[in-house]
Structure 1
Amino acid sequence: MGDRAYVPASKPVPVAAPRAANGVANGGGGGGGGAARPPPMVPGRVPPPPMYRPKPMQAPPRRRRSGRGWCCACCLWMTLVVVGLVFLGAIAAGVFYVMYHPQVPTFAVTSLRLAALNVSDSDAVTSRIEFTVTARNPNDKIAFAYGDIAAAFSADGADVGDGTVPGFIHPAGNTTVIKGAASATASTVDPVVANSLRSRKSHAMSVEMDSKVGFQIGRFKSKRINVRVLCAGFTAGLAKNTPSAPPIVVAAAPSPVRSVVKASSSSSSSSSSSGGATTTDAKCKLRVKIWIWTF
């Protein structure tokens, strides 16, 4: 057995002093402060990471859409709606054209009689004009409904008569002969124009006819739109005989009739000398006015 060291009983074994609660050992050091000293760093030892304390969860803030965003969205939707409507309208117009082949009616001034044209010393014009206009509907399935037609005549650029023709229905494939009269009573004109009217025996005539027209297909009736018929390029002289004025008549010719009176120098001169109407084949241009656009 090995030998044991002998320790005398009179010498006590040193015992480590307990650490004070406030971090000061044996009442020493600290300089009066209450903060605990950190443990001494041991070479080669990494200190533990600080304790992670998670933050409380917060609801994300709501993003408010600005007025600019609403405006852009409205513009986008409006553009899509307009494009869609235009696309549908184009499809409907294509189907309508394929089914009915619509064509515009044609007009021609076939007869005009300058019954009276007097210019007074005070440049006042008194006149009476009797005219015949032939309207042709080339469509097979489309009829036209005309409102009252207002006709305004000009001679050498001066207004010499106004008249109104009652409205009528223009059947499909039909030629309609329109007879009417226009007059002016003490209508004052420019002195230069008045001298021109006095000095000339034949006058360059033109007429503007305004009306509202709608088309009919079976029982369907469209809304009426404004149209204007312009007729020019014909002349008329003062008739010698002035018979009583006939009433305004609108006569519809049968469908097969396609008669148009053609102008000729011999017939025009003989008609003027006998006091009859001046024949002409003056063609007219039809213009359609929708709101502020004219076609």
Structure 2
Amino acid sequence: MVPGGRVPPPPMYRPKPLQSRPPPRRPRRSVRGWCCVSCMWLIVVLVGLVFLGAIAAGVFYVVYHPQLPTFAVTSLRLASLNISDSDAVTSRIEFTVTARNPNDKIAFAYGDIAAAFSADGGGIGDGVVPGFVHPPGNTTVVRAAATAEALTVDPVQAAALRSRKSHALSAQMDGKVGFQIGGFSSKRINVRVTCAGISASLAKPEPAAEAPAPAPAHTRHSPPRGVGGAKMTTTDAKCKLKVKIWIWTF
């Protein structure tokens, strides 16, 4: 009660406004989940490619039965070898390389092959074996020469070259080769051929042949033989072939 006998009106009730609830959020896939799925598919694809490659390699091996070619230095002639007082080597080496292709359906195509000869721990001559095509089941003989012009060597090697009459030589040949099957030609890969066990002495020129006596007019005779240096001597050098594909060597 308030003075005057009047009753104040009751306070007005105002309902509180309803707060709107935010819509429920959908769960998002984490970045880690996407990475796991991508890695899984990548692994599946790589395994599939490896599996298909293994099948193709197996079929290729069964059909063609590929074999590596073989190389040998079958003859060599040390035409000249001079060592100056300043330990400079001047030389000429004539040699023959015999390559054999044991495959029946695979041919090889070689580019120019760089050949380097060494003796007593150092190089004594460099040369180039010209490139060639090696048909299936074929034996190819290639002749080449290696030379050195005033090549400075170590004094120890120079002394060894002066003191020895017979020299133990080794050869290293680097080049590129590709194989051919029918009309298909592959890209060329690096190959290295190393040969050891070559023994050579400085060649001596053959004495001049005496002039033959004049033959009667009614007889036939063969032409006289030409006068030249010493002939090339056969060798039993053992050569190893290494094939390098990217970072792998076989």
Alignment TM-score > 0.5, same fold: yes
1:207 aligns with 2:162: no
Equivalent positions of 1:250-265 (< 5 A) are none
Give the stretch that moved more between structures: 175-184 or 275-284: 275-284
> Partners in 1 of 2:185 and 2:103 — Cα distance?
16
Report the AA paired with residue 157 of structure 1. G
Equivalent positions of 1:72-87 (< 5 A) are 72-87=36-51
1:279 pairs with 202, 214, 234, which one? 234
> Partners in 2 of 1:59 and 1:173 — Cα distance?
80
2:84 pairs with 116, 120, 130, which one? 120
Report the AA paired with residue 188 of structure 1. T
> Partners in 1 of 2:27 and 2:233 — Cα distance?
82
Partner of 1:264: none
Contact 1:153 1:160 in 2 (8 A): yes
2:141 pairs with 157, 173, 177, which one? 177
TM-score (norm 2): 0.80
Residue 117 of structure 1 deviates from its aligned partner by 0.8
RMSD: 2.3
Unaligned runs of 5+ in 1: 1-31, 35-54, 243-273
Residue 173 of structure 1 deviates from its aligned partner by 0.3
> Partners in 1 of 2:93 and 2:26 — Cα distance?
81
Deviations 1:232-263 (A, max 9, x none): 11211111129xxxxxxxxxxxxxxxxxxxxx
TM-score (norm 1): 0.68
Residue 279 of structure 1 deviates from its aligned partner by 1.2
Report the AA paired with residue 136 of structure 1. R
Contact 1:115 1:241 in 2 (8 A): no
Unaligned runs of 5+ in 2: 1-8, 12-18, 207-228
Partner of 1:155: 119
Secondary structure class of the residue paired with 1:281: coil
Contact 1:115 1:127 in 2 (8 A): yes
Deviations 1:56-89 (A, max 9, x none): 9974312333332222222212211111111000
Which runs of at least 4 in structure 1 moved beyond 3 Å after TM superposition?
55-60
Deviations 1:70-128 (A, max 9, x none): 22222212211111111000000000000001000001110010101111111111000
Aligned residues: 215
The percentage of counterpart residues that share the same residue type is 75
Residue 291 of structure 1 deviates from its aligned partner by 1.6
Residue 285 of structure 1 deviates from its aligned partner by 0.5
Larger Cα-atom Rg: 1
Report the AA paired with residue 139 of structure 2. T
> Partners in 2 of 1:145 and 1:283 — Cα distance?
23
> Partners in 2 of 1:70 and 1:190 — Cα distance?
64
> Partners in 2 of 1:67 and 1:185 — Cα distance?
67
